[in-house]
Amino acid sequence: MYIGRFAPSPTGPLHFGSLVTAVASYCEAKTHNGKWLLRMEDLDKPREVKGAADTILRQLDTFGFEWDGSVAYQSQRSHLYADALELLSQRQLIYPCTCTRKEIADSSSTVGVDSVIYPKTCLQRPIKPNTPAAWRIKTPNIRISFIDAIQGEVSQNLSTDIGDFILKRADGLFAYQLAVVVDDATQGITHIVRGADLLDSTPRQIYLQQLLNYPLLNYAHIPLVRNLAGEKLSKQTLAEPLDLSRAAHNLYEAFKFLEQSPPKSMQNQSLKDIWLWANTNWRLANISQKPRHLL
């Protein structure tokens, strides 16, 4: 059984970039006669916008998406993340860290994929007393590789490219990397179709899957939608919310971005007819490896 998912963060309404991701993951699941699950990644409560989750559900419903089962909310699954963290703790794979970002920046000159590589300060020295601690996972000098259905072979040395990354923050919130791995495993996800901005996170997630004895997944990272300045469409770059009154037009543009050659008449069709067309014509293989699409 193919089981895919769409997992938006309720930090604002969906924009065109979100729609492209939803369309790709939805079509891949449906053309494989699989399930498409919906999960709200609402762990980071300080960033959550009140009412955004309901707005996202309304947007998806307006565009004709039909998800399987009930919506999962990460904020209701903390006990699962705590159990996974405890398993890693029992195997002595994690350690507390009381370093601030400034201290890390001042103590390390090695830059990795995301940022400065943590120099393992709290692994080698006592942590600060009476200070809230984050929990980091030890990253060995091993190479994690996988074949992405769109981007091809991806490979990282976790120690030199990433470093010991955080699984639980000092403020008590579980980190995305741990939560998403636990969620995908407990929900039985088999295939992940998402934006290429998460491509570099995948080796970390595969590493956690291996440590927790979870099944390995199939990945496809689609190109990012960028604005005229070359920036990824996001809430931070002030991407406009989807216009619900132009659902057919927006779907046409999404399929066009995904290189599916939709007919121009799609813009005047019913949503039912659009999704029937997609179920027959969708081809993940049509998506170029790294096209440079700009809006």
DSSP secondary structure, 33-52, as one string: T-EEEEEE----GGGPPTTH
What is the rounded CA–CA span in Å between residue 60 and residue 273?
17
In whole angstroms, how large is the CA radius of gyration of the chain?
A: 20
pLDDT of residue 269: 96
- Residue pLDDT tens, the chain, 295 long: 999 999 999 999 999 999 999 999 999 999 999 999 999 999 998 889 999 999 999 999 999 999 999 999 999 999 999 999 999 999 999 999 999 989 988 887 788 888 889 999 999 999 999 999 999 999 999 999 999 999 999 999 999 999 999 999 999 999 999 999 999 999 999 999 999 999 999 999 999 999 999 999 999 999 999 887 777 877 777 678 899 999 999 999 999 999 999 999 999 999 999 999 999 999 999 998 765 555 5
Class of domain 3-75+187-286: alpha beta
**Fold agreement (3-75+187-286, 79-176):** yes
The fold of 79-176 is Rossmann fold (3.40.50)
Facing residues of 94 across strands?
137
The full set of domain ranges for the chain reads 3-75+187-286, 79-176
Residue 97: its pLDDT value, please?
97
Whole-number pLDDT of residue 291: 55
Please state the pTM of the whole predicted model.
0.94
pLDDT score for 293: 56
Helical segments of the chain, H only: 16-31, 52-62, 78-90, 101-107, 121-124, 176-186, 202-211, 247-257, 271-281
CA 46, CA 79: separation in Å to the nearest integer?
A: 20
